[in-house]
Amino acid sequence: DDASANANAQGMADRLASDLGVNVNLYDVSSEGMIIQALRFGNADIGFMEGGPAWIGWKQYGLSVLAVETTTMEGATHYNASAWVLNGSDIANAHLDGDDSTDPFALMTGKTSCHTGWLKSAGMLMPMGYLIKNGYVTAVGDNTDVNSLRTTIDNHFDGSASNGNPASIPDSGALYSGYSGAIECLSEGYGDVAFAKGDDFSTVEKYCGDDNASENEDWCLPMDQYVQLPSFGQSPSHPVMYNPELLDIHTRNAILNAMLSWNDEMWIENYPMGGQNYTGCYNMVTHQVADIPMNQCGGEILSSVTSKGYGLKAGNSQNHLASYSDLLGSVPGLSEYYHSSDKYGITDAETSEQE
């Protein structure tokens, strides 16, 4: 709830103040757009953001990545967006035949696509950005209106024109929605290609890869029936952003080092060590226990203010956002949609920050 979120954020602010030796205040925002504008106009020094608005902040407003969330215990900061097809299909054959002249992406015209939902990252924006950017798909309609993307998809992936099915773009909770739904759409034969996650975060592996078949989804085919095409690109974890024109290098390095040190801390209660029991903030490197409030302990901060609760790594805009930016920038009308009040409210936030 809001009270808990505010308490968690205040704990982070208090800890930063202690680590840096300066006053640290919270700046209240109600949208991702307000975070962008607060950083632009100097009302905030750092902001935790999602990938989409971070892309806008970087490309259009000059913001930079300071740190990035890790999304697994192993420290991953990206996942790959990929297309999946069934083994034996013409698309799969073109990928597996070792012949560079047979292009699997060129064979998607007129096929039926399975998307995770409308304007979803790996399930729509990244594959469509890739296909449009590389000339496989021609965008149609108003290039400032993101709704033209639906028409573009329907025109290109219209299997009904060849005795197939129209593209699957499900509403949330509807049949074939989400990552599992996209693979189910492919597995049950409704669609010819599913857009989901690949490689280390394979959607197929997640839902169909258990050695005990009873643990897999009922609709799963044997794993060797699924073929992953080359990745479209990387979707980034949530970054911590700042304005390089307003935050000097000494200050941002101090902030970064303080935040990274939180990865080494965990809260313990009655923990036996050296013949005594300790309660407090335990540093796993120094083996010291700090007597500070629980909400100021690094592990507690990271579990509450990051989206996955694992940790942070140092990052930069080029490495973290470039692949994603390259694809999203090719989707007609997406920037305008992100600026609108229908999504992140970036334009409205600019007015309020300047007042």
DSSP secondary structure of 29-66: -SSHHHHHHHHHTTS-SEEE--HHHHHHHHHHH--EEE
Indicate if 230 and 245 belong to the same structural domain: no
288 dihedral zone (left: phi>0; alpha: psi -120 to 50; beta): beta
Average pLDDT over residues 155-168: 86
Indicate if 222 and 305 belong to the same structural domain: no
Structure tokens at 44: 């905030």
Indicate if 175 and 305 belong to the same structural domain: no
**CB 77, CB 310: distance < 8 Å:** no
Indicate if 130 and 230 belong to the same structural domain: yes
Give the domain range for residue 319.
2-75+237-354
Indicate if 13 and 65 belong to the same structural domain: yes
* CATH classification of the domain holding 301: 3.40.190.10
pLDDT at 45 over 80: yes
- pTM of the predicted protein model: 0.89
pLDDT band at 309 (very low <50, low <70, confident <90, very high): confident
pLDDT at 298 over 90: yes
From 236, 266, 285, give the residue that closes a domain: 236
Which runs of consecutive H residues, i.e. helices, occur in 157-232?
Answer: 178-187, 203-208
Indicate if 136 and 217 belong to the same structural domain: yes
Tell me the CB-side half-sphere exposure of residue 338, using CA atoms within 13 A. 23
Indicate if 257 and 156 belong to the same structural domain: no
From 203, 220, 236, give the residue that closes a domain: 236
**CB 158, CB 167: distance < 8 Å:** yes
Amino acid 355: pLDDT: 62
Indicate if 192 and 338 belong to the same structural domain: no
From 236, 259, 277, give the residue that closes a domain: 236
Query: How many folded domains does the chain comprise?
Result: 2
Indicate if 214 and 252 belong to the same structural domain: no
Indicate if 71 and 218 belong to the same structural domain: no
pLDDT band at 289 (very low <50, low <70, confident <90, very high): very high
List, in order, residues 6 or more apart from 86 with CB less than 8 Å away. 92, 186, 187, 192, 221, 225, 226, 227
pLDDT at 1 over 70: no
pLDDT at 277 over 80: yes
Indicate if 101 and 230 belong to the same structural domain: yes
pLDDT band at 320 (very low <50, low <70, confident <90, very high): very high
- Max CA pair span of the chain: 76
Give tens-digit pLDDT for 233-264: 999 999 999 999 999 999 999 999 999 999 99
Indicate if 108 and 212 belong to the same structural domain: yes
